[in-house]
Amino acid sequence: MKTIGLVTGGGDAPALNAVIRAVVKTGVGEYGVRVIGIEDSFEGLLGETRTRELTPVDVRGLLPRGGTILGTRNKGRFVQYKPDGEVVMPESSFREAIQNLERLGIDGMIVLGGDGTLAIAAEFGKYGIPVVGVPKTIDNDLAHTDLTFGFLTALDIATEALDRLHTTAESHDRVMILEVMGRHTGWIAIHSGLAGGADVILIPEIPFSIDAVCHKIRERERCGSDFSIIVVAEGARETTGEQRYLTQGGSDVSARLGGIGYYLRDEIEARTGKEARCVVLGHLQRGGSPNAFDRMLATSFGAYAVRCLMQGDRDVMVALHASDIITVPLAEAILGIKTVPPAGGLVRTARDVGVSLGAPDEPQMDVECE
Ligand code: F6P
């Protein structure tokens, strides 16, 4: 292993650059290998390739910098979605990319991505390219790792937004709704909802009833709290409905979700007569500087990924387990996503402190007012 290729794929997340920095510093400084950055995800390996060698000088000052200096794509020529939902990985793209890897002298790749990008990485592994994956996504929905880097920074941003919404909600006696990211999972919503003192938390894992949400708002009013705070994951849906999309995506997994917050606002105003406002936090959760923990996690992941590749580990993903960095088979890591357990500790905690998850079968809290 003399030359490592480095790829960042899928939606960006805080601390991608911190991983890049750690890979370059460890690869060049500790093992004396070359690190070649591949631009715009795997797309930089097709046609007139877009790559550049990264030296320790190139990664100076990257720890606090958001985004990725290599660029990223969440659509490309390595995955096609058929109308029936079938996912196809065209052999021609992989063959062309592998020829280019050989021409560039790249012996193995470190790939920073979520489930989609890591599935492409696993496919390269099947063609015999040594690959190590690094789990990235603000959604924290990758299986077999306690945390993905980027998640805790997104959580900080969502929590600060809730703190700010609290004061304006209270001043105006309004219902304030914060729509956060989370395509299939409610990790950002439930963590920020607990940290920011939301009254209602709506997540994709627990379909909600609008009656239960309005009941909670009325109960709060009966007990003297004239405002309420709701945090909703973009992928949440009613028991009677589907997820809401901004774009027509069919079976394409990159179709853009959004709109559930505005729907809630309109329904709540119509049913309770209270004024409601919706804020969509969107890409503020993904942009900007990573927090201290994400910088540290990204650095640990990056350094460990190089060590794995140099030791001869293949087709693995680095992962956080308790407080250790370990590896798990890449093939297992991409098999399914990690969702919030509806009967798990986080949901239980939320209910213990009086938060409604909007479930129709949730005990209707006709509480004694404190
Ligand atoms: O990284 C995943 C994610 O944050 C999802 O929660 C969200 O649906 C998606 O990215 C949006 O990505 P983009 O706007 O880049 O298509």
Residues 179 and 233 in one domain: yes
Q: How remote is the CA of residue 183 from the centroid of ligand 1, in Å?
A: 7
Decide whether any atom of ligand 1 lies within 6 Å of the 139 Cβ: yes
The H or E element spanning position 111 is: strand 108-113
Q: Which residues contact 76 (CB under 8 A, 6 or more apart)?
A: 41, 42, 43
Q: How remote is the CA of residue 164 from the centroid of ligand 1, in Å?
A: 23
CA distance 293 to 280: 25
Residue to mutate (ligand 1; options 153, 243, 256; most atoms within 8 A of CB): 256
Residues 321 and 348 in one domain: no
369: in domain: no
Distances (CA, A) of 82 to 12, 43, 79, 117, 251: 25, 20, 10, 18, 8
Residues 158 and 107 in one domain: no
Q: At residue 285, does pLDDT exceed 60?
A: yes
* Residue spans of beta strands (DSSP E) within 136-183: 175-180
Residues 273 and 162 in one domain: yes
CA distance 311 to 318: 13
Q: How remote is the CA of residue 173 from the centroid of ligand 1, in Å?
A: 32
Residues 199 and 237 in one domain: yes
Q: Using one digit for the tens of pLDDT, what is the confidence trace for 75-95?
A: 899 999 887 778 899 999 999
Sheet (strand 200-202) strand order: 200-202, 228-233, 175-180, 276-280
Residues 202 and 345 in one domain: yes
With beta carbons less than 8 A apart as the criterion, state whether 233 and 178 touch. Answer: no
Residues 346 and 274 in one domain: yes
CA distance 279 to 232: 10
Whose CA is closest to atom 15 on ligand 1? 11
Full residue range of the structural domain in which residue 158 is found: 153-286+341-352
Q: Which residues contact 61 (CB under 8 A, 6 or more apart)?
A: none
Decide whether any atom of ligand 1 lies within 6 Å of the 74 Cβ: yes
Atom from ligand 1 closest to the CA of residue 254: 16
Query: Which pLDDT band, with edges at 50, 70 and 90, does 367 fall under?
Result: low
Residue to mutate (ligand 1; options 68, 75, 139, 253; most atoms within 8 A of CB): 139
Whose CA is closest to atom 1 on ligand 1? 11
Compute CA 162 distance to the chain's CA centroid, rounded to the nearest angstrom.
19
CA distance 141 to 145: 9
Return phi, psi of residue 230, to 5°: -120, 135
Residues 175 and 28 in one domain: no
Q: Using one digit for the tens of pLDDT, what is the confidence trace for 235-260?
A: 999 999 888 988 765 546 667 888 99
Question: How much is the CA Rg of the chain, to the nearest whole Å?
Answer: 22
Atom from ligand 1 closest to the CA of residue 283: 14
pTM of the full predicted structure? 0.96
Average per-residue pLDDT for the chain: 95
- What residues form DSSP beta bridges with 202? 232
Three-state DSSP class for residue 228: strand
With beta carbons less than 8 A apart as the criterion, state whether 107 and 74 touch. Answer: no
Residues 266 and 314 in one domain: no
Work out how many domains the chain is built from and give that number: 2
Give the per-residue pLDDT at 82: 81
Q: Using one digit for the tens of pLDDT, what is the confidence trace for 28-64?
A: 999 999 999 999 999 999 999 999 999 999 999 999 9
Average pLDDT over residues 215-243: 96
370: in domain: no
Q: How remote is the CA of residue 179 from the centroid of ligand 1, in Å?
A: 13
CATH number of the domain encompassing residue 13: 3.40.50.450
Q: Using one digit for the tens of pLDDT, what is the confidence trace for 97-133?
A: 999 999 999 999 999 999 999 999 999 999 999 999 9
Sheet (strand 131-135) strand order: 51-54, 34-38, 3-8, 108-113, 131-135, 316-321, 324-329
No. of helices (H) and no. of strands (E), the chain: 11, 13
Q: How remote is the CA of residue 47 from the centroid of ligand 1, in Å?
A: 27
Return phi, psi of residue 171, to 5°: -65, -35
Decide whether any atom of ligand 1 lies within 6 Å of the 11 Cβ: yes
CATH number of the domain encompassing residue 257: 3.40.50.460
Query: Which pLDDT band, with edges at 50, 70 and 90, does 182 fall under?
Result: very high
Decide whether any atom of ligand 1 lies within 6 Å of the 137 Cβ: yes
Residues taking part in catalysis: 139
